[in-house]
Structure formats: structure tokens, C-alpha cells
Amino acid sequence: MDLNRNRKILLVAVTAIIMIGLVIVYPYLIPSEPEREITINGAGASFPFPLVDKWIAEYNKVKKNVKINYQSIGSGGGIRQHTEKTVYFAASDAPLTPSQAANASNTLHIPFTIGGVAIIYNVPGAPMGLKFSGEVLADIFMGKISTWNDPKLVELNPNVNLPDKDIIVVHRSDGSGTTFVFTSYLSEVSEEWKAKVGRGTVVNWPVGLGGKGNEGVAGLVSQNPYSIGYVEFIYAKKNNIAWGYLKNAAGRFVEPSLESFRAAAAAAAVTLPKGDESWAEVSIIRGVVRNTQAVDAYPITSFSYFLVYKELNVLPNMDEYTARQLVEFLWWTIHDGQNYSAELDYVPLPSNVMARNEETIRMITFNGKQLKG
């Protein structure tokens, strides 16, 4: 009996070891590249993660020896890693504040994609495309407008039979670039909001429920009748939720879409600083929210930025070859990479932003030597 059992155990153990061995060895059976393989580490915002992941995969097909690794640990985490120089590039939904920039001097900002925040709601009986204005939104999220049939909402939507029900506000519970963008917008359109709540990745919401992640907010809104919330546009699209039309400075009610985000970015891009200057005041929102010429612009739009040092020798273990590969990748993302944006519902860069980025990337040096001519 004992001998049998021991043999059984031996057999299973040997099988297990062989199987695990196969699992570990499997990828090494795939032929590898003769050229020197390098790894480039990046970290940052989770909003652009799917896009950056797509770029990494596609770029690896182009340059098979370059493996890029992006950690979506959040803009805050990305900025911290960038400051501590533990990554070669970072991504953030917000530009560096002056104090952050002081801790990470000579950082270049490269906007690489654009995103927009949609206002989603769940009002049984109401159609898609309820109209909102900035002031009304601020009042709703402050709790000053608390029912759907409030006169201000009725005024904007005269043809809709808005019910006499309490508005359930839904916001983000976790820190997020989406919250930063949305509260930036509310701060621009409402002095009271700016003074009482302000903008940030986390704020003290006066009213409402907190959902975790865009998914959490979308989930709460779709499950709670008479609720309203804000999410990255793609979550509204993929979750089959109604979104609102927002009044822009030109007086038009614009729906969130790749085109309207792009229009906003193009309108705001005229005021972009140079790559190595301070971007703390850069905001598509600010460039658009009072811009009466931006007819098709959707106001709640923002850039996502790559952050990279101007002189790459400050990064530990960096050499010229790797530095050059990093620069080539960044160049690729703002050109070929943009072709992949739309299918993932990210907004391709308008040409004036692209031009600015080309300038910026040309500023990158290693040991003083310019890396992209």
C-alpha cells in the first residue's frame, strides 16, 4: 500500500515538474531577435492605458527588439516615478503643477492623446441628449439643483417631460484624472464651485454616491433611476447609457464625440507653450470654455501627456542606444500611433498639436547630443 502510494506521488510530482518546466520554457522556444533587446519602462495614468498598450504591441512588431512596459498606476504614481527617475517616461492626465515641476526640472510635456468626459444620466422616459449647461451642472453636483424638474433644467429642455424626482448624484470615489478634468471644468464655469470644492483628482463632493472607477460610476448610474454622473466618454458609449449635450461658449449644444473633442483641442492648441516651458496653466477647457469661435467644441476635454526629461542622461542605466529608441517610440506614437486612436475611441491629435510635439521631441538630448534630427 505504501509503496503504491509513494509511486503515485512520485509519478504526479514528476508530471507536475515536467508540466511546469514546459510552461516556463515555452516562450524560449520561440525564436528571439538577434538585435540587442532593450526594455523601456513607463508608468502613469490609467485612462490611456488601452491605447498605450496597443502602441506597445504594434511598435514591437515594427521594432522587435524594443520591449516597452507601461504600468497604469495612476497619474499621481506616474509623476512620482518620473520625479524619482525610476521610469524612462511617464503619462499623466494633468500637467505638472509648478511645485511638481520644480521637483522634476527639465521635464518635457508631450500631449499624446485627447479624452473627453461625458455626462451620463438615467431618467426613465427621458430621451438621449438631454441638454445641460455648465452652471446647471455645477449646481446639480453641489446639490443646489436637487430635482429633475427644476426650472433651470426645464428651461434647457422645454420639450422633455422631466419628472419630479430627486437627482441622485454619482461621482468617483477613487482618485482619478477624470475627476480632475471634470472638476476643472466646473471650477471654470462656476465661481462658487471653485471656491467651495475646487479641482483635484480627489475632492470633497458636497453630495452624491461614490463609484469606484469609471466602471463603478457607469454601473451606479445604469442601476439607479434618476441618477446622473460623469465618465470617460468610451464608458458611456460601451455601456449603453444616455449622455447629455453640453452648451459650449458658442451657444451650441454639443454632444461628446471624437469630432467634438478634437475640435476643442484644435481650438485650444493655439495657446500651447513650448515643450520645455511650464504647462501648469494648459487646459483645453480653459482654451475653449469662453471661446465663442469654437462652434463644434465639447468643453470637457483634456490632453493626456507624456512626461520625459529633456536631457536623458539623468536617468540611471540610460545609454545612447536606449535613449534613441525611446525617442523613436515617442515620435512613432504621435505619428503612426495616432492611426490606432480612433478605433479605440481615443481622439487623434490635431495637426497643430502634432507640430508642437515634433518640436518638443527634437529637444530631447543624450549627453547634449540631439537624438531626433
Partner 1 sequence: MKSKTSFSKIAYLKAKIEGDEIFRIVSALFALTTILLVGLMVYELTRGSWLSLQKFGLLFITGTTWDPVFTLNFGALPLILGTLTTSAIALAIGVPISIGIGLLLSEYVPKRLGFFVSFMVELLAAIPSVIYGLWGIFVLIPFLRNNAYPYIQAVLGFLPLFSGPIYGGGVLTAGIVLAIMIIPIISSVSRDVLSAVPHSQREAVISLGATKWETCKIVMSYAKPGVIGAIILGLGRAIGETMAVTMLIGNKFKVLPSSFFDAWYTMAAIIANEFTEATSDVYVSALIHVGLTLFLISLIVNVIARLIVWRTLRLVKGVSRG
Partner 2 sequence: MDNYRIRKLKDWLMRILVWSSLIIAMIPLFSILLDVFLNGAKAIDMDFFLLPTPTVGEKGGIANAIQGTLITLGLASIIGVPIGVMSGIFLSEYHDSKLSQPVRFINDVLSGFPSIVVGIFGYVLIVSVIGFSVIAAAFSLALIMIPIVTRTTEESLRMVPVAIREAALALGIRRWKTIIFIVLKGARKGVITGVLLALARIAGESAPVLVTMGYWRWWFSGLNRPASNIALNIYLFAISPFENWRTLAWGSALFLILMILGISILIRVLTRGKYE
- Which one, 239 or 365, has the nearer CB to partner 2? 239
Q: What values do phi and psi take at 39, rounded to 5?
A: -115, 135
Of 168, 234, 265, 323, which one interacts with partner 1 (CB under 8 A)?
168
Asked if 95 contacts 180 with a C-beta cutoff of 8 angstroms, the reply is: no
Distance separating alpha carbons of residues 190 and 114, to the nearest angstrom: 24
Amino acid at position 333, single letter: T
Using N-to-C axis directions, what is the helix angle for 320-334 and 351-361, rounded to 10°?
A: 170
Of 40, 59, 68, 74, which one interacts with partner 1 (CB under 8 A)?
74
Query: Is residue 219 a contact point for partner 1 (CB under 8 A)?
Result: yes
For partner 2, the binding residues (CB under 8 A) are 5, 8-9, 12, 20, 23-24, 26-27, 39, 41, 43, 49-50, 53-54, 56-58, 67, 69-73, 86, 213-216, 234-235, 237-239, 343-344
Asked if 148 contacts 165 with a C-beta cutoff of 8 angstroms, the reply is: yes
- Residue 225: CB minimum distance to partner 2, A: 22
- Which one, 101 or 334, has the nearer CB to partner 1? 101
Out of partner 1, partner 2, none, what residue 79 binds, judged by CB under 5 to 8 A for its kind, is partner 1
- Residue 367: CB minimum distance to partner 2, A: 24
Query: Is residue 169 a contact point for partner 1 (CB under 8 A)?
Result: no
Of 350, 322, 348, the C-alpha closest to 336 is: 348
Q: Is the dihedral of CA 152, 153, 157, 163 positive or negative?
A: negative
Query: Is residue 77 a contact point for partner 1 (CB under 8 A)?
Result: yes
* C-alpha pair distances (Å), 170 with each of 88, 188, 205, 222: 36, 20, 10, 11
Of 48, 55, 56, 76, which one interacts with partner 1 (CB under 8 A)?
76
Q: Of the ranges 57-65, 73-81, 117-125, 147-155, which one interacts with partner 1 (CB under 8 A)?
A: 73-81
Out of partner 2, partner 1, none, what residue 7 binds, judged by CB under 5 to 8 A for its kind, is none
Query: Is residue 175 a contact point for partner 1 (CB under 8 A)?
Result: yes
Of 114, 116, 127, 115, the C-alpha closest to 241 is: 127
- Which one, 200 or 213, has the nearer CB to partner 2? 213
Query: Is residue 209 a contact point for partner 1 (CB under 8 A)?
Result: yes
Q: Beta strand 107-122 with 242-243: parallel, antiparallel or unpaired? A: antiparallel
- Which one, 199 or 247, has the nearer CB to partner 1? 199
Residue ranges of alpha helices (H) inside the chain are 2-25, 49-62, 75-84, 98-103, 134-142, 151-156, 177-189, 191-196, 213-223, 233-238, 258-268, 284-288, 320-334, 351-361
Distance separating alpha carbons of residues 249 and 293, to the nearest angstrom: 8
Asked if 264 contacts 294 with a C-beta cutoff of 8 angstroms, the reply is: yes
Query: Is residue 100 a contact point for partner 1 (CB under 8 A)?
Result: yes
- Which one, 25 or 270, has the nearer CB to partner 2? 25
- Which one, 171 or 262, has the nearer CB to partner 1? 171
Distance separating alpha carbons of residues 69 and 61, to the nearest angstrom: 15
Q: Beta strand 245-247 with 131-132: parallel, antiparallel or unpaired? A: parallel
Query: Is residue 199 a contact point for partner 1 (CB under 8 A)?
Result: yes
- Which one, 71 or 313, has the nearer CB to partner 1? 71
Out of partner 1, partner 2, none, what residue 198 binds, judged by CB under 5 to 8 A for its kind, is partner 1
Out of partner 1, partner 2, none, what residue 36 binds, judged by CB under 5 to 8 A for its kind, is none
Out of partner 1, partner 2, none, what residue 12 binds, judged by CB under 5 to 8 A for its kind, is partner 2
Q: What is the largest CA-CA distance in the chain?
A: 88
- Which one, 51 or 263, has the nearer CB to partner 2? 51
- Which one, 97 or 365, has the nearer CB to partner 1? 97
Distance separating alpha carbons of residues 101 and 309, to the nearest angstrom: 11
* Residues found near partner 1 in the complex (CB under 8 A): 73-77, 79, 97, 100, 168, 173-177, 197-204, 209-212, 216, 219-220, 223-224
